[in-house]
């Protein structure tokens, strides 16, 4: 399998060139689903929310679904590689 970025590019090019009229509707929908699934496999940096949450603890958000990843404070969880809500692959490295 190619890397997810190349696969997404290939799917999008095919969909743009084929169009809905020449493509079976089921195939077109399957390609849209595949594109979305592959997008979640492309590592994206987490979003550091500037707004400070409960008890003055800032929080990190998933770049895709904006879910609070709950990694700080007394109840903080470990930094996972994927968002537990949408499955987005996460990059925790500071930039």
Q: Where in the sequence is the domain holding 28, given as residue range(s)?
A: 4-41
Are 12 and 23 contained in the same domain? Answer: yes
The proportion of the chain whose per-residue pLDDT surpasses 70, expressed as a percent, equals: 75
Put residue 19 in one of left, alpha, beta given phi > 0 → left and psi -120 to 50 → alpha. left
Are 83 and 51 contained in the same domain? Answer: yes
Local confidence band at 52 (pLDDT 50, 70, 90 cut-offs): low
- Cα separation, 45 vs 43, in Å, equals 7
pLDDT attached to residue 78: 80
Are 63 and 86 contained in the same domain? Answer: yes
- Total-model pTM: 0.66
Are 68 and 35 contained in the same domain? Answer: no
pLDDT attached to residue 25: 76
Are 48 and 87 contained in the same domain? Answer: yes
CB 44 within 8 A of CB 60: no
CB 83 within 8 A of CB 76: no
pLDDT attached to residue 87: 92
Tally of domains in the chain: 2
Are 17 and 56 contained in the same domain? Answer: no
Backbone angles phi, psi at 90, to 5 degrees: -110, 145
């Amino acid at each position: 399998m190619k890397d997810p970025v190349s696969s997404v590019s290939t799917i999008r090019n095919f969909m743009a060139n084929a169009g809905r009229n020449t493509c079976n509707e089921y195939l077109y929908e399957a390609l849209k689903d595949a594109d979305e699934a592959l997008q979640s496999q492309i590592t994206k940096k987490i979003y550091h929310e500037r707004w400070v949450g409960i008890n003055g603890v800032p929080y990190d958000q998933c770049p895709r679904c904006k879910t609070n990843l709950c990694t700080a404070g007394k109840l903080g969880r470990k930094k996972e590689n994927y968002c537990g809500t949408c499955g987005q692959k996460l990059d925790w490295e500071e930039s």
